[in-house]
Structure 1
Amino acid sequence: MATVRTPRSTAALLLACALVAVTFAACAGSGGSGEPSKGSVKLTMSAWGGDVDKKVYEQRLALAHKKYPNITVQLQMAPGGEDYSQKISTAIAGGKGPDILELAEQTSAFASKNQILPLDEHIRESKLDLGATFGETTSKIFAHDGKQYAIPDRSGAMVLYYNKKLFDAAGVSYPSADWTWNDLLSAAQKLTVRQSGEVTQWGFATINWWPYWMTFMYQNGGRVLDDSGRPDIDSPQNVQAMQWYNDLAWKHKVSPTPRDFANYGQGVGPDQLFAQGKLAMEITGFWNIAAANSVKGLDWDISPLWHGRQPATSAFFNGLAISRTSKYPADAWKVIEFMASQEGQRPIIDNAEDAPANLQVQQSDAFLKPKWSSRTVNMGAFAESSDAIFVPPLTPQWNEMLKVCTDNIDLMMNNKVEPKKALATIQQRLEQVMSQGG
């Protein structure tokens, strides 16, 4: 026999359901779920990388276990890229995601799908000052819709590597953050050497990789998306920046063209030419220190990038987030908070893995004068560059946006279309991408 509900019983039922829904939403939305466990807790953490990354994460997790003996974290290493993102996203959707996960450009995509927890409540309770600890810009990289979804873990700015021997031979002063675009061009022209019509030494290198060309856009006061998230890539500032950028190869001929790079052999880029002594300056990150150190006779150093209308540089970064499927988010937060501390970041330096995100660690003697370096290097260039780091347009549609940009910037850099036309095409297609929500 069917149960007949009176208006009063129906109202009571609706009220009870509403209270349950509100309670659930509050728990899920806050990112906090009770107090840290008092008993033994086993967490899992997913990350990508090679042997060095695995070694460093294991050392750091061992230190975290020493501080919190009741928390044990099992590390799960995987290849990076799209395969990593898809694998972790699928695991979380199936309710079997890791407690802690390493993220980079994918943070907004995971946040938009409600696959990671906002950390703002934990941050407030821990009184963690994100700006003072990591820099204002670096922290924003891991924010989405006004909430913080990951804590910076590694964040090395892109800096300028330069060959001191080639600079000395050309009588050119070493680069600095005071350089302008004109200073860069003037130096590159003096550092480009031709013999019998063939270039034997390049002054600079331009390539179709977003940290390169996007840096010039931001240095010229441009951007990819406006404050409301609409495409703004065909602005006069960006057209001027891309014309200047493309002219380095095709007009001034101080940079290899894509064809020139191809003639050097498959897989040869700025890092390889720099190591061979055929390139005087290149933009690259912390990872190239080990390679440059290994080249016998290569006399080199690093500097913050020059500036255009304003300072700007990109950065390679990763952060640590908490999966929404974690049963122990408060314990996961304790591990993340520790790994962001000076003690938790020290193994990053000791093993020459990367530039740590914690600015105090970047400014420590351990980083500025690392024991593993075979020469004196201006390691302070990374911390000096922190205020110049720009936040790329890391929307949930990042991958789609990047493909549109890369395809058309490639045509520009092969001199098949003018910069203005390339950016107009990108603008039109990005408007479609953003309107479709990815």
Structure 2
Amino acid sequence: MKIFRNPKGLAAIGVACVLALTACGGGNDGPADPDGEGSDDAGSGVDFGGEASGTLKTLGFNPSDEVGLSRSDLAAEKLSGVTVEMDTANFDPQKFAALSAAGTLPDVVQMDRQSIATYAQQGLIMPMDECFASQEITPDEYWYPAVIGDVTYDGSVYAAPQFFQPSIIIINKALTEPAGVTAEQFDSSDPEALVALAKQLTVMNGAQPTQLGFDPDIPGSIVTWLTAFGGKVMDDEGKPTLDDPANVEAMNFLIELFDAQGGYAEVTSFKQTWDVFGDQNQYVQNQVAAALWAQWYINVLSNVKDEVSLDAQPLRDADGNPFGYAGGSALAIPANAENPVAACQWITTVTSLDAWKAAGEARAQTVEENDAIFTGIFTGSPEADQAIKDAHVAPSGNEDFDKLIETAYSVLEDTRTFGGSPVGAPIDEAIKQAAGAAMGGEKSVEQALADAQAQAMNEWDSLG
């Protein structure tokens, strides 16, 4: 397989983004079906198990680090008769719309999983059930149920998921131990105690915080917190449910949490001074006692492993059960792809167990060369996750980081995600706007969520 990459798509990205992959891109809402009709029969009758040949064009997949490169190299070996042309730029909804209108869509597109149901409903990507069957893949068995649910619409699976990097609470022992605080006290199933703990660990200079007790990562992790409180942003059919009573409870908790630390505006302003990805990050500088972070941030902190003292706790739901929440990307085939056979086989190869094992080997080599810590690769597949963990995750000699890694793996026993909806992107935008309005005091929680629900329902009703 010959691979040609579009150099214009190779933008410089930060170390954390290279390690995370999924944290750096993703699309939102997409174009309407230009013909006003869906393409439910797209891919029907295609011999996905036939010999792959010709040219394969991809958009959004960027093999810029060893995890991506090792997987695309494996596909090159398997699909030796295919020439791959890669546009490695991040997925752009406007670009996708323009390519669709011009009839020049590529054969493979990588996008945020929240966009999959939107494009499926519009008939712009094809169901992959026949593709998976041809490659003897059972999606519900290979991927976590929550992950495959993200890319399922109207009973069909429309994409192959990649990555599931769950959020955990990363604790700064340099601040908690002198205060007599244990890691176990950061228990999200006890909101009242967590607010009190955050207040205890916050240091103020007048009206401005100089040390946060607990950063919940809002608005970015707003749906994670709604989930923790038993809330939801959509029902099983994808219909918006932003005004769910549990969402009101979660938002009120977050307001109390920010108020205990000086207020949402003040906290946000303080966080903007942090060197989040640098050697003088907020843990090194003792600017935060604990915070909610996705698994990929362990890689960032490992760069300063000798300068920090850390612990971790899982996020817990209202019943005290640890759970893992995450999003991620997925690989889909446009409905009018010129080479669906090669697209199917390329996608299923780069997301296969063999591909993830190759990625694990490549990452392990990089870790060894840089005297770093292997923090795991969280693939979205329990089988692949376990294989990589068994082969490469071992005691590192740093008990703190071993605890962080162990905690991240532990929450994979209960995975939860945003869900799949044809108005997923509008729901996401509406809930984040509601969080900002409520946290900032512009609206009451009830009004903010009611407005968000109305906004999302307008999109839902427009589906017809």
TM-score after normalising by structure 2:
0.76
Q: Which residue of 2 aligns with 1:261?
A: 268
Q: Is the 8 A contact 1:153 1:356 kept in 2?
A: yes
Amino acid at match of 2:99: A
- Distance, in Å, in 2 between the alignment partners of 1:33 and 1:184 is 55
User: Which structure 2 residues correspond to residues 200-349 of structure 1 after superposition, within 5 A?
Assistant: 200-210=210-220, 212-250=221-259, 253-254=260-261, 257-263=264-270, 265=272, 272-295=281-304, 297-309=307-319, 312-346=323-357, 348-349=359-360
Other structure's SS at 1:140 match: helix
- Mapped to 1, the partners of 2:186 and 2:142 lie a distance apart of 23
User: Structure 1 stretches of 5 or more lacking a match?
Assistant: 1-24
Corresponding residue number in structure 2 for 1:361: 384
Query: In structure 2, what is the equivalent of residue 60 of structure 1?
Result: 71
Using the alignment, how far apart are the partners of 1:404 and 1:214 within structure 2? 11
User: What's the CA shift string for 1:29-68, capped at 9, x where partnerless?
Assistant: 53x512544474331222256843xx54333121122233
Residue 47 of structure 1: aligned partner:
60
- Would you say how many aligned residue pairs link Structure 1 and Structure 2? 405
Which deviates more, 240-249 or 172-181? Answer: 172-181
Structure-2 separation of matches of 1:156 and 1:280: 22
CA distance in 1, matches of 2:40, 2:408: 40
**Alignment RMSD, CA only?**
3.4
- Pairwise mapping of residues 4-403 of structure 1 onto structure 2 (< 5 A)? 28=42, 30=44, 33-38=46-51, 40-47=53-60, 51-52=64-65, 56-80=67-91, 84-104=92-112, 105-175=114-184, 180-182=189-191, 184-194=194-204, 199-210=209-220, 212-250=221-259, 253-254=260-261, 257-263=264-270, 265=272, 272-295=281-304, 297-309=307-319, 312-346=323-357, 348-349=359-360, 350=363, 355-363=378-386, 364-366=389-391, 368-369=393-394, 375-403=401-429
Q: What secondary structure sits across from 2:57 in the alignment? A: strand
- SS class of match (1:244): helix
**In the aligned structure 1, how far is the partner of 2:167 from the partner of 2:322?**
12
Q: Is the 8 A contact 1:224 1:231 kept in 2?
A: yes
Contact 2:275 2:282 survives alignment (8 Å): yes
In 2: Cα distance, 1:177 partner to 1:48 partner? 37
Secondary structure in structure 2 of the residue aligned to 1:172: coil
- 2:441 counterpart (415, 423, 429): 415
Q: SS where residue 376 of structure 1 aligns?
A: helix
Counterpart CA distance in 2 for 1:168 and 1:41 is 61
Q: How far apart, CA to CA, are the structure 1 residues paired with 2:63 and 2:265?
A: 29
Aligned to 2:462: 436
Larger CA deviation: 427-436 vs 266-275: 266-275
CA-to-partner distance for each residue in 1:192-222, whole Å, 9 max, x for gaps?
Answer: 3457786442111144424x22222222222
What amino acid is aligned across from residue 183 of structure 2 in structure 1? Y
After TM superposition, give the deviation of residue 344 of structure 1 in Å. Answer: 0.6
1:128 partner amino acid: I
Q: Say if 1:97 and 1:57 are closer, same or farther in 2 by CA, change over 3 A.
A: farther
Encode CA deviations 1:122-144: one digit per residue, 9 max, x unaligned: 22343323233221101111111
| Distance (Å, rounded) in 1 between the aligned partners of 2:309 and 2:208 | 24
Larger radius of gyration: 1
Shift of 1:313: 4.5
Q: Counterpart amino acid of 1:201?
A: Q
Out of 191-200 and 155-164, give the one that drifted further: 191-200
Q: What is the Cα deviation at residue 424 of structure 1?
A: 2.2
Partner SS for 1:379:
helix
Does the aligned pair in 2 maintain the 1:191–1:201 contact within 8 Å?
A: yes
Question: Closer, same or farther in 2 for the Cα pair 1:29/1:100, shift >3 Å?
Answer: closer
Rounded to whole Å, the distance in 1 between the matches of 2:181 and 2:261 is: 15
The one-letter code sitting in structure 2 at the alignment partner of 1:213 is I
- Once the two structures are overlaid, the 10-residue window that deviates more, 259-268 or 139-148, is 259-268
Q: Is the 8 A contact 2:48 2:340 kept in 1?
A: no
1:402 is paired with a residue of what secondary structure?
Answer: helix
Would the alpha carbon gap of residues 60 and 207 (structure 1) be closer, same or farther in structure 2, given more than 3 Å must change?
Answer: closer
Change (3 A) 1:434 1:40: closer
The secondary structure found in structure 2 opposite 1:305 is strand
1:163–1:299 Cα contact (<8 Å) kept:
yes
Distance 2:40 2:119 in 1: 19
Instruction: State which drifts further: 138-147 or 224-233.
Output: 224-233
Q: Is the 8 A contact 1:34 1:330 kept in 2?
A: yes
Provide the C-alpha distance between the structure 1 equivalents of 2:395 and 2:75, rounded to a whole number of angstroms: 23
| C-alpha distance in 2 between matches for 1:202 and 1:113 | 45
- Does the 8 Å CA contact 1:220/1:308 hold for their aligned counterparts? yes
| Partner secondary structure for residue 170 of structure 1 | coil
Distance 1:263 1:328, change over 3 A: closer
Q: Using the alignment, how far apart are the partners of 1:288 and 1:28 within structure 2?
A: 39
When structure 1 is superposed on structure 2, of 363-372 and 120-129 the one drifting more is: 363-372
- Matches of 2:194 and 2:414, distance apart in 1: 18
User: Could you tell which deviates more after superposition, 398-407 or 313-322?
Assistant: 398-407
Give the whole-Å Cα distance in 2 for the aligned partners of 1:269 and 1:394: 31
In 2, distance between residues paired with 1:184 and 1:276? 23
CA distance in 2, matches of 1:64, 1:73: 10
TM-score normalised per structure 1: 0.80
Residues 162 and 282 in structure 1, CA contact (< 8 A), matched pair in contact too: yes
